[in-house]
Amino acid sequence: QKEVEQNSGPLSVPEGAIASLNCTYSDRGSQSFFWYRQYSGKSPELIMSIYSNGDKEDGRFTAQLNKASQYVSLLIRDSQPSDSATYLCASEGGFTDSWGKLQFGAGTQVVVTP
């Protein structure tokens, strides 16, 4: 069992709608969480980071963290065709010198349909 679990999708979302992505993690010691976006054939790029319980908004993206439930989510509002990609959830922390040592989920493929 992977430490970070995501639904693989594909998640089909009409243009302009909200895409909701979920992620759970098993290591209760994890402190920091990230969402990376990866276009097909490209490398992952960071779009959101979240460290505290609650919501964090950045433009059309909102990340939500609930450490008690070991749950992280990402909302994409007003979805655009350019949002079609695989979204990777990652956790960090829980042990000494864990900076940057990320555990990635398998990713959720999002397809935004015009």
Residues making contact with other proteins (CB under 8 A): 2, 32, 34, 42-46, 49, 51, 88, 90, 92, 97, 99-107
What are the b/e assignments for 64-99, b being 16+ CB within 10 Å?
bbeeeebebbbbbeebeeebbbbbbbbbbbbeeebe
Distance of closest approach, residue 80 Cβ to other proteins, in angstroms: 23
Distance of closest approach, residue 58 Cβ to other proteins, in angstroms: 13
Q: Which is nearer to other proteins, 72 or 79 (CB)?
A: 72
Q: Which is nearer to other proteins, 102 or 110 (CB)?
A: 102
C-beta of residue 87 within 8 angstroms of C-beta of residue 4: no
Q: Which is nearer to other proteins, 82 or 96 (CB)?
A: 96
Distance of closest approach, residue 36 Cβ to other proteins, in angstroms: 8
Q: Which is nearer to other proteins, 76 or 102 (CB)?
A: 102
Q: Which tokens is 16 given?
A: 């302009």
Q: Distance between CA atoms of 98 and 3, rounded to whole angstroms?
A: 15
Peptide bond into 10 cis (omega under 30): yes
Q: Distance between CA atoms of 88 and 8, rounded to whole angstroms?
A: 10
Distance of closest approach, residue 48 Cβ to other proteins, in angstroms: 11
